[in-house]
Amino acid sequence: MSEAAAPRVEGSFVRARLGSLVAILPLGVWTVMHLWDNLAAFQGAAAWEESVTRAGHPLAHFGTLLVVLVPLLMHTAWGISRLRTARPNNARYGFFANLKYVVQRVSAVGVMLFLGAHVWKAMLEPRYVKGHPETFADISYQMAHHTPTLVVYVLGTLGVTYHLTNGLSTFAVGWGLVGSRRALQKLELVGWLAFAVLLLVAWGVLFAMWRAGR
């Protein structure tokens, strides 16, 4: 390898590692906290707005942008490059792991479309076009009276929770955190449990909003 080529290879290695790392920290951790905060929907408008949209300090909102949107863009750029090199072989090898490989990539596309719409409609448009953060009255009205919104949220949260919890094991393998088949099987079980819990939380929140908006 020429000397000139070496830094480029190192650079792309670091970028690839970073694209994977930020998916868990801060993105995955923040996603879990965000879903959890949304459970305040069961307690009504004031509790939900306090928990989800109120920033204690004017700079806190920009902190969120930095801690969430920048890693999301980094991971999305990394993910798109992984999508471009994906070579599914399910027709020849019908293993469950190969199916999960495809579902992880299909969910990535769904999550990308969902998050684009969600970040715009629930954060940027209310704050920067309408001049105030999203209100509980508005989001719950949409859930109850605009079926496409409800369907997009039901499918979008399914995609996000699957993509994140299935990604736990590929992440652990990629970073050499699991050393045996048995450890990987245990981790996959944890992933499925986390998927069930997170999906219950997410769909519970949607139910609470739908009920409040009727």
Nearer to ligand HEM by Cβ, of 24 and 40: the residue is: 24
Structure tokens at 41: 């929907």
How far apart, in whole angstroms, are the C-alpha atoms of residue 38 and residue 82?
31
Question: Which of 166, 150, 151 minimizes the C-alpha distance to 209?
Answer: 150
CA distance 177 to 185: 13
Q: Which chain residues interact with ligand HEM by CB under 6 A?
A: 20, 23-24, 27-28, 31, 72, 75-76, 79-80, 82-83, 104-105, 108, 111-112, 115, 160, 163-164, 167, 170-171, 174
In the bound state with ligand HEM, the residue whose beta carbon lies nearer, of 59 and 83, is 83
Report the residue number, 79 or 213, with the smaller CB distance to ligand HEM. Answer: 79
> Which residue number has the CB closest to ligand HEM?
79
- Least distance to ligand HEM from the beta carbon of 94, Å? 19
Instruction: In angstroms, give the least distance from the CB of 134 to ligand HEM.
Output: 18
Shortest reach from residue 82's CB to ligand HEM, in Å: 4
Least distance to ligand HEM, CB of residue 37, Å = 15
User: Which amino acid is located at 109 in the chain?
Assistant: V
Give dist(CA 207, CA 184) in Å, integer.
Answer: 34
- Residue 100 near residue 91 (C-beta atoms within 8 A): no
For ligand HEM, which is the closer residue by CB, 134 or 212?
Answer: 134
Cα-Cα-Cα-Cα dihedral of 177, 182, 186, 192, to 10°?
Answer: 100
**Do 41 and 35 meet the contact criterion of CB atoms below 8 Å apart?**
no
Nearer CB in complex with ligand HEM: 34/61: 34
Tell me the residue type at 193: L
Q: Which is nearer to ligand HEM, 191 or 213 (CB)?
A: 191
Name the residue type at position 112: M
Nearest to 48 by CA among 126, 136, 133, 142: 136
Closest approach of Cβ 83 to ligand HEM, in Å?
Answer: 5
CB of 31 to ligand HEM, least distance (A): 5
